[in-house]
Chain A
Amino acid sequence: MPPSGGEALARLREVGEDPRAEARALRDRTGAAVVGYFDLYLPEEMVMAHGALPFRVPVDGRDAARSSEFIQGFACPAARDILDQALRGELDFMEGALFTRYCDSLRGVFSVWDAENLTPFVELVRYPTVTDTEEAVEYLAAELREVSGRMAESLSVPANDRRLAEAIDACNRKRGLVRELALLRMGGGISISGADYLAILNAGTVMLPDEFTSLLSALLGDPPAGAQPTGVPIILSGVTFDNIQLARLLEGTGLHIKGDDLSSGSRWYGIQVGSGVAGGGKDANPWVALARAYLTKPPCSVKEPSSPRADHLLEQVNKAGAAGVVLYRSKFCDSEQVEWPYLRDRLEEEGIPVTLVEGEHRAAGFEQTRTRLEAFREALEDEDGYGEGGRG
């Protein structure tokens, strides 16, 4: 008997609050190798093609003191947080780790990871930065195949075309459902808090896709009853936002995360591999299809070109009828630091209020941020044009 919507949400919330525990449990339950990754440009389907379990390591927002023995404090705290988890032995269930050249801080973490042998195997995918050329698509496809070849040796399991095709289908399905949920939330058609939504995003990159899909289907088919979340609707923008406790504190200021512009959210769930893309017959090759889909998603600021990101953000604001935008930025995040004045100006040109919160993904020490966010909420409440349903 399928779970009720409420039961499904409770399970997704539980997983999303502690994805690491779920990854470990999955490894114990299935006996399959767990391969961790750290950014959403890495196609998890590639890991699944080897019969392994992909696990996006979340930033858990705890003290990253241990990492300071290995990497300087001006590395981004999200990157240091991930390194710290590995150094504390909390990722010891992982058989391997896959890095891309996401940013210079994660690159530094890769160096330490590699030198300290923090997992039995570690790979740096020689990932393109340019995302809008056919050459980049073909190169990435070839690179993914090469990495897959090396993974086959490490995991003693070669990639299998059938498994890759199944993985692509399963991941397309799960991302499609997340998109459906997100659109429903933005349209006010389902009553789920922003913190729960972010927990579901976390769950989506650790659970077995079929299990996740069936839970999400149950949730969408039998939405929990209850009033719409209160609070001033905002779009949460940034890179990732994995700390659910921090999300609850943010919403506790009277803001409601009604939609997002996160690499782990709306810039991820739109990925549909091999459907309706350019390139003609080449995309019959699943590696080319994978490369194209991941390169052409709404970009992060570490990619070129990045300007579609601003358009994507504005689109989310409009879809959600959001009253404003909260941009959460990791301290020392170079690309978001440069992107900020541009995004701010683009939003303000459209009359959309925005505030910047810089932090280390920790719930501890939230007081100062709380004061600022409450002031932002009050300013939004005073805005003309903002009513019960937000901008619209």
Chain B
Amino acid sequence: MSARLEATENLKSLIKKYYNDLYGAEKEGIPTAWLNVGVPCEIFYAMDMFPFYPENYAAAAGSMKLTPQLSAVAEARGFSADLCSYVRTALGTVIAGEGPYGPLPRPTVQVSAMNSCIMIMIWWRAVEREWDVPTFVVDTPLVEKESTGINLDYVNSEVRRMVAWVEEKTGRKMDLDRLKEVVRLSNEGKDLWAETLDLRRAHPCPITAADIFTHMFPMVALRGTPEFVEHLRLLRDEVKDRVERGFAAVPEERYRLLWDNLPPWYDLRLFSDLAKQGANFVIDTYTQAWGPRYMGEIDTVDPLRSLAGYMGSGFLNVQVEKRYELLEELVDLYDVDGVVFHSDRSCKPFSLVQVELRRMLQDRVGVPGLILEGDHNDPNLLDRGRAMSQLDSFLELLEGRK
């Protein structure tokens, strides 16, 4: 339905190089760190390490529809079928020694932060037990809206404790000047990301939700590298050009929707199927986690404390009112007609506030929402027919409000 972004070719080569680097790291003597998305890769690039994100890898496996078979391996080991589908996917890879790009090399260290879910910590713990990998948890206690005061001091001390631990385990040293340079590149690329997200406000919207979800990889794994900035500039320029040309990612755009939560990686076609009815998800909450509201400019004077602030105030580390504020702001900025809350069985922190958020949105600004049951990686947990029927009814409701 929609034209593919040309920047996608560059993205493919970035991903290819990234995995080549991962598989070549041991030979090159480069220590690898498995991180969750709440741990900034900037710190690890500054330490000349290779940061790897199993969540990203699991999503890739999910998009290739490998989750059911990898999950079966994890379940045979005794892990519950009710666990997060990322976890089942990744543990299946670890146990079976197979995955979308072949067996994963064992990391030198693992670091997780508590700023998204408990699941991350226990996932890393399971890998630690399977592979005997040194593992560190950065504590980031939940906050109401923002990490400040004693909480920020604590998270800051946690980040420094982590750096000292990584130095000890890998022999690599944190070079503050190098970190400042990495942070400068990270800030530059994130500005371009923010601009790209902002360009989605255009009528018609220049890209689809599938486009933006596909291009998240550099935001997660490459921040602070020159190729990150280069790619984000390519993406921004292309999207900007589309806006200037009045290009509609969804021809005859009629319904401007907001997607809340992770997407079903195995079924991004859901978005193009809806596009046939003139519906486009012009904005989403998930990519905002890397946007300026949650991952803004890093202070180059004291980058570690600044990064600690973003970790402590992370998108899933805040409470319902803050989550609502974002929704209301996005609904207004992007001229949203309705919100689809993907009730993602594999992401409790994202999902378990959605019933309240939907009610708040309806009560306070009169924007309707649909709770859509599904899962970000396990196709067996999405009833496609039922979902499309619910979405059709939702579009009818929106039509009635036009």
Work out how many contacts link A and B, with CB atoms closer than 8 A. 132
Q: Would you call A334 and B356 a contact (CB within 8 A)?
A: no
Given contacts A112-B356, A127-B141, A334-B348, contact A340 B78 (CB under 8 A): yes
- Judged by a CB distance under 8 angstroms, whether A364 is at the interface is no
Instruction: Quote the shortest CB–CB distance from A67 to chain B (angstroms).
Output: 10
Q: Which one of A54-62, A99-107, A366-374 is at the B interface?
A: A99-107
- Judged by a CB distance under 8 angstroms, whether A72 is at the interface is yes
Contacts of A337 in B (CB 8 A): 79-80, 82-83
Q: Would you call A133 and B161 a contact (CB within 8 A)?
A: yes
Query: In the complex, what residue of chain B is closest to A304 when comparing beta carbons?
Result: B137
Question: B115-130 toward A: CB 8 Å interface, digit per residue (1/0)?
Answer: 0011101110110010
Instruction: Quote the shortest CB–CB distance from B305 to chain A (angstroms).
Output: 15
Cα of A129 to Cα of B141 in the assembled complex, Å: 7
Q: Which one of A135-143, A175-183, A257-265, A268-276 is at the B interface?
A: A135-143
Q: Would you call B150 and A107 a contact (CB within 8 A)?
A: no
Secondary structure at chain A's binding surface: helix, strand, loop or mixed?
Answer: helix
Question: B126-143 toward A: CB 8 Å interface, digit per residue (1/0)?
Answer: 100100000001010111
Q: Would you call B356 and A340 a contact (CB within 8 A)?
A: no
Query: In the complex, what residue of chain B is closest to A356 when comparing beta carbons?
Result: B78
Cα of A13 to Cα of B187 in the assembled complex, Å: 62
Name the interface residues of A307-332: CB closer than 8 Å to any CB of B.
331-332
Contacts of B359 in A (CB 8 A): 115
- Judged by a CB distance under 8 angstroms, whether A38 is at the interface is no
- Judged by a CB distance under 8 angstroms, whether A223 is at the interface is no
Q: Would you call B348 and A101 a contact (CB within 8 A)?
A: no
Query: In the complex, what residue of chain B is closest to A139 when comparing beta carbons?
Result: B154
Cα of A334 to Cα of B125 in the assembled complex, Å: 13
Cα of A338 to Cα of B117 in the assembled complex, Å: 14
Given contacts A301-B122, A337-B80, A340-B80, contact A124 B319 (CB under 8 A): yes
Name the interface residues of A332-350: CB closer than 8 Å to any CB of B.
332, 334-335, 337-342, 344
Cα of A344 to Cα of B123 in the assembled complex, Å: 17
| Of the residues A111, A146, A339, contact of B320 by C-beta under 8 Å | A111
Kindly list 12 other residue pairs between chains A and B, CB separation below 8 angstroms, not including A72-B343, A334-B83: A69-B355, A70-B355, A72-B351, A74-B348, A104-B349, A114-B319, A115-B320, A115-B356, A124-B142, A337-B82, A337-B83, A340-B80
A-B residue pairs, 8 tightest by C-beta: A108-B352, A341-B78, A104-B348, A337-B80, A126-B141, A139-B154, A338-B122, A130-B139
Residues of A at under 8 Å CB distance from B? 69-72, 74-75, 101, 103-105, 107-112, 114-116, 124, 126-130, 133, 135-136, 139, 142-143, 146, 301-302, 304, 306, 331-332, 334-335, 337-342, 344
